[in-house]
Amino acid sequence: MAATIVIFGASGDLTGRKLIPALYQLFRKGRLSSPLNIVGVSRTKFSHDEWRTELATSTEKFAGDSFDQEKWAQFAERIYYQPGDIGQAEDFAALAKFVDEIEGGESGTRIYYLSTAPRFYLPAVEHLGQAGMACETNGPRRVVIEKPFGRDLKSAKELNKAVHEVFAEHQVYRIDHYLGKETVQNLLVLRFGNTIFEPIWNRNYIDHVQITVAEEVEVGSRAGYYDSAGVVRDMVQNHLLQLLMVTAMEAPVRYEADAIRNEKVKVLHAIRPLDAEQVRTDTFRGQYRGYTASEGVKPTSRTPTFAALKLGIDNWRWQGVPFYLRSGKAMSCRTTQIVIQFYAPPQKLFVDTPTGLGEANRLVIQVQPAEGIQLHFQTKVPDAGMRMRQTDLNFNYQKEFRGVMPEAYERLLLDALEGDASLFARADEVEAAWKICDPILEAWEAKDKPTLFMYDPGFWGPEECLDWMTAQGRQWFDTCPLLG
Ligand SMILES: NC(=O)C1=CN([C@@H]2O[C@H](COP(=O)(O)OP(=O)(O)OC[C@H]3O[C@@H](n4cnc5c(N)ncnc54)[C@H](OP(=O)(O)O)[C@@H]3O)[C@@H](O)[C@H]2O)C=CC1
Ligand SMILES: O=C1O[C@H](COP(=O)(O)O)[C@@H](O)[C@H](O)[C@H]1O
């Protein structure tokens, strides 16, 4: 019994760069439990063979050494292309007929992957419904929806409502590729597969948490989209809040989609919403110099490419522990890291005993690119009385498991095919995330908006943001990971 994945946005960047290479890797590794038909849909007029040739080139580029001509030829036998316009209902009738034909009338799982601009999510879902393609009598039917899911709470609610008119929630997979990253899943294992961290994972031992997603790249070819979105919609509402949820959640009662998502969404509900005044004091927006000269960006654009926020979580575990979230383009280096900053010891017993946070214990979870975990702690310098120095225990994924770090989309596509929604966002989760971002966006887009601080590419954001942290007696952990 074959499964089928229908990809809307077949000629697009994400399909060629991430989706097809990930599906090819799953095939090459023998991870697919049944044969997989891939049907690409977009308006470009390709024949099946023309699309296969395009994909062979892009997959070879992105799969690197693991690309094997013979394996690709086997994989490509089941790749098909059906030209179609998402805006045209009749193209869905033709698509339904075509997919039925290649499936030979057999039942099996079908995934519809919406890898198109967000304005097409609604018509795609409506037309899938009208063409009878959401009906599950012939096997599971699931829809995978890319980010951004809405522009704000109102539009996300409208989208959820429209999607639910066609698909039941169990059929909907809202993707956030950060949840497909090995190190993010390892955070669940670190916290809930070990006993030593849980007793100290709370306000009694932790001064604050920093979550940084820094990108070295500038806005690049997606400038048109980015300029209308900005960093909060592009990164904070989804990836950063997902990292925060996994860091702060309680242990789920079992490893199962709803149990996990229940705990995650509780964290979002416990985040104290920022009022307009707090947006002024507890958030920071910036733009890198040169952004407005990028192709596709308005020369007068005030779109922020950098954000820093201080959020509080009102529950027993986290009361009084600030969570600092920060993300930006054109920063010093590419690094995604979660820093758990512990308190300094209560008594200065040795001459070098840390009294400030700088030398206190710190757990650094390197999400990417140097995937790993470091525990920073003090050690005695030999033959030097009782002098101390900070050192670290270092777990490095690449060293430990050489060559087995899969792309995030591999895991997520496999889970969608197998019907495991644990690493996908639920409707209420997406809405709760917008509820946190909406007041920030409103204040940042209001007439009397806070200052937009400028920063030079290659820095850790605006200098004022570093000063802001220092004024709170804390410091950003601005360290680029050591690669290799
Ligand atoms: N690229 C990335 O790295 C990431 C992308 N995303 C999200 O994934 C989605 C896709 O992004 P990306 O691949 O970059 O976008 P692209 O602009 O590269 O691709 C858009 C695709 O949509 C197709 N399309 C446009 N209009 C129609 C239409 N009327 N009917 C049918 N198909 C149409 C285009 O093909 P044609 O013109 O031939 O019709 C093209 O295949 C977006 O929602 C984006 O936010 C999320 C994370 C990362
Ligand atoms: O979703 C997005 O993510 C990428 C960053 O993803 P990563 O896996 O390379 O960290 C970001 O560049 C893009 O702007 C955003 O839309």
pLDDT tens column, 413-464: 999 999 999 999 999 999 999 999 999 999 999 988 889 999 999 999 999 9
481 pLDDT higher than 90: no
Tens of pLDDT, residue by residue over 350-409, are: 989 999 998 999 999 999 999 999 999 999 999 989 999 999 999 999 899 986 789 999
d(CA 423, CA 185): 9
Beta bridge partners of 37: 4
484 pLDDT higher than 70: no
Q: Find out whether 282 is annotated in a ligand binding site.
A: no
Rounded distance from Cα 9 to ligand 1 centre (Å): 5
Burial 384-398, CB ≥16 within 10 A → b, else e: eeeebeeeeeebbbe
Question: Which is it for strands 362-368 and 141-145: parallel, antiparallel or unpaired?
Answer: unpaired
pTM here? 0.96
* DSSP-assigned letter for residue 445: H
Rounded distance from Cα 385 to ligand 2 centre (Å): 49
End-to-end CA distance of the chain: 43
Q: Which residue has the higher pLDDT, 479 or 112?
A: 112
Beta bridge partners of 453: 286
Closest ligand 1 atom, CA of 15? 13
Q: Find out whether 43 is annotated in a ligand binding site.
A: yes
Portion of the chain with pLDDT greater than 70, in percent: 99
Question: Which is it for strands 452-455 and 388-396: parallel, antiparallel or unpaired?
Answer: unpaired
CB-based contact 156:24 (threshold 8 Å): no
Active site members: 239
Q: What is the pLDDT of residue 478?
A: 93
CB-based contact 38:80 (threshold 8 Å): yes
What are the chain's domains?
3-146 (3.40.50.720), 179-404+427-471 (3.30.360.10)
Q: Find out whether 234 is annotated in a ligand binding site.
A: yes
Residues with CB under 6 Å of ligand 1 are: 8-14, 42-44, 85-87, 115-118, 120, 146-147
d(CA 148, CA 125): 16
Q: Which of 145, 234, 237, 242 to mutate to test the pocket of ligand 2 (most atoms within 8 A of CB)?
A: 234
